[in-house]
Structure 1
Amino acid sequence: MLVVGVPAVIIVVARHTLAQSMHVLTTASPGWLLLALAAEAVSLTAFGMSRRGLLRANGHRIGLRRVLAVTCASNALSLSVPFAGTELAIAFSFRRFRRAGLDAATTSWALTVSWICSTSSLALLLAVGAVIGGAAAASVAGFVGAALYLLPGVGALLALRFDRVRVGAVTALTWLAGLSRRVVGKPEHGAAGLQRFLDEVTGTRLSVPGYARVFGLAVANWAFDCAALAFAIRAMGQPVPWGDLLLVYGAGAAVGSTGVTPGGFALVELALTAALTASGLHADHALAAVLAYRLVNFWLVVLGGWITMAFLTHPLRRGRSPR
């Protein structure tokens, strides 16, 4: 009910601005829109390359095309399901990479470190936006947002790296593993098997240049996605508010991560439009720019991802006969 009600209320309240923005969209520059689409494609590719760099730790081999296919499909799953989309996307990615021949420990480590790099790189961009932004309140909000994105990743990284930090996590996971084994019979080896698995995960490493490359690609993922927003603004004939752009972008990313609606639908549009309006754009032009951005950032990603999902999970593709 909430998933349907929230967007409906927003659309009714903002219907006049929405109608005006539709007219603005008809005058959009095709060239700038193509640049926005290209920037989004580079963003997704950078994320896939970042993941591949982690999955190839310990000498494993996996092609970029396979990683990009799994990434696109998992993104569609994450953006389509409210609340639990991220968890389902991680589970899907884990199964697909395991099917590609990677061991469970490397796959778990790669997905965890990928998440850490993603949240940390977004925190870095928000911190940069807070430094660039002139308004004190916006700068404070940027630093607070950066801290909120950074702290969970730091905690997970410490848990992976240092034995003492792992003690509390292992105790809780051991209890859960024992409970799960009693209820559903998994994991088969209980706490001992869990401990061996964690040892394998924490034993996975990359070189310092490898970590730097992965983190740089994670930054590129967010930076090119932000560039897509800038190109969408230019497509509406509006000047890009460069001083506030990263904080505007961060506002949309924060709202989208709540999972209240699929991919933050309607909520992200509202947050980005309000932030751009506060940065000096007229409301109808701001909303038109956001709608164009969300076309390449959300709708096309979801469409392409579900097409890829159908291809990956087709019975003939899996080498099985249709049921």
Structure 2
Amino acid sequence: MTVERLPHSLPRRLPVRTLRDRLPVRSFRGRLPVRQVLCLLPLALVAVVAVQHRAVLAAGFGHLASAKWPWLLAATAATCMTWVAASVTRQGALVQRLPRRRLLATQFAAGAANHLLPTGLGASAVNLRFMTVCGVPLARSSSALALYLLAESVARVGLLLALLIVFPDALRLGELLPEGAVGPLLLAVGGAVLVAVAVLLLVRRVRAAVFAFLRTALGEARSVHTRPARALALWGGSFSFPLFQAAGLAAVGQALGLPVHPLHIAVAYLAATVAVALVPTPGGIGSVEAALIVALVAAGGPAAQATAVVLAYRIITVWLPLLPGALTLGALVRLKVI
């Protein structure tokens, strides 16, 4: 048997530079610009939102200058505790243990994403990506997200109803909606429910996907509630989150001398946030301010002072953490945590 030899004209080894030059450029450089763009995108969005709301920012900082600083520090502390409460609730909605420090950093970054994208979508996308990187299957992470949203909604509405029962005169509900707006609102909600039910019943693929998701979600919820620590974290965090938010608004009200009882301010906050929960604006910017002002006026506060309190409150809870949150979001993307 004879062995054929390669011609002497062909080199036995290709230089590394020659091999790299012959391969497609995208294999070496295609991924880098995308990740860099994702890291810089939150900062660009912060700049755009800040320019759009520069008048609100100027007015809010002006009101903070005349406020009582101890109460402002209390509002800042309550705002920081909301990220801890969100982290506890996220962990409580999932059986698998998540890294605590990364989970807390992710909630801080998710808050910034939530203010830059339509309400709920930013935080949900960040947390889904985080759980995926942590090795949680998509079905389980989606179920955990749905359980988190359900628990937080139940806790918020439950707190509002409980406070309205204890303080029935805290809020004049008739002033929250314009006259004659209740009927059209109920018709719109009823129509949306009917459309959703019709799609669910008539479209087989949608029905199969929904039922499969519900089976997974119910199984995950059952597993969570068989572990007392997870159930306590889920519901304790769900009730703590809106309480810390309401406490922050009440502290700002005290800082600016709003003549409304702090518990009545909490009722106004819960009523306003429940009312705007379905408004698809980035972080509720604009809609939340309007609803809070109307709610505080309905609770007995003067319109001018209510406006000052809301603007100062949104500076503390939205605008001050927005840039650090965007930087954290970019860092987490760069470090491949999300």
TM-score normalised over the length of structure 1: 0.69
Q: 1:101 and 1:264, CA in 2 relative to 1: closer, same or farther beyond 3 A?
A: same
Matched residue type, 2:148: S
Q: Which residue of 2 aligns with 1:237?
A: 257
Checking the alignment, whether the CA contact within 8 Å between 1:53 and 1:214 is kept in structure 2 is yes
1:43 paired residue among 82, 94, 101: 82
Q: 1:260 & 1:139 partners in 2: Cα distance?
A: 24
SS at match of 1:203: helix
Matches of 1:226 and 1:77, distance apart in 2: 21
Larger radius of gyration: 2
Q: Following the alignment from structure 1 to structure 2, what is the Cα–Cα distance between the partners of residues 70 and 280?
A: 38
Partner SS for 1:264: coil
Counterpart residue type for residue 233 of structure 1: G
Distance (Å, rounded) in 1 between the aligned partners of 2:295 and 2:212: 48
Change (3 A) 1:195 1:116: closer
Answer whether contact 1:49 1:64 (CA < 8 A) is retained: no
Aligned pair count reads 266
Aligned counterpart in structure 2 of residue 203 of structure 1, from 219, 243, 246 = 219
Letter of the aligned partner of 2:117 in structure 1? V
Counterpart Cα distance in 2 of 1:46 and 1:260: 24
One-letter amino acid of the counterpart of residue 274, structure 1: V
2:294 equivalent to 1:294:
no
Q: C-alpha distance in 2, partners of 1:223/1:136?
A: 17
Amino acid of the residue matched to residue 68 of structure 1?
A: L
Question: Which residues of 2 match residues 158-197 of structure 1 at below 5 A?
Answer: 175-176=205-206
Q: Could you say what the CA RMSD is over the residues aligned between the two structures, in angstroms?
A: 3.8
Residue in 2 that maps onto 1:184: none
TM-score w.r.t. the length of structure 2 is 0.66
Partner amino acid, structure 1, of 2:140: T
User: What secondary structure is seen at the aligned counterpart in 2 of 1:244?
Assistant: helix
What is the distance in 2 between the residues matched to 1:36 and 1:304? 18
Map 1:60-209 onto structure 2 (within 5 A): 60-82=96-118, 85-131=119-165, 132-134=167-169, 137-138=172-173, 175-176=205-206, 199-204=215-220, 205-207=223-225, 209=228
Gaps of 5+ in 1: 156-167, 178-190
Residue 110 (structure 1) shift = 1.3
Q: Specify the SS of the correspondent of 2:120.
A: helix
Aligned equivalents of 2:294 and 2:211: distance in 1? 48
Higher helix share: 1
Contact 2:172 2:299 in 1 (8 A): no
Q: 1:215 to 1:133 in 2, by over 3 A?
A: same
1:54: which partner in 2?
A: 93
Would the aligned equivalents of 1:129 and 1:139 in 2 still touch at CA under 8 Å? no
Q: 1:81 to 1:29 in 2, by over 3 A?
A: same
Matched, 1:246 2:266: yes
* Per-residue deviation, 1:49: 0.9
User: 1:43 Cα deviation (Å)?
Assistant: 1.5
In 1, Cα distance between equivalents of 2:243 and 2:141: 26
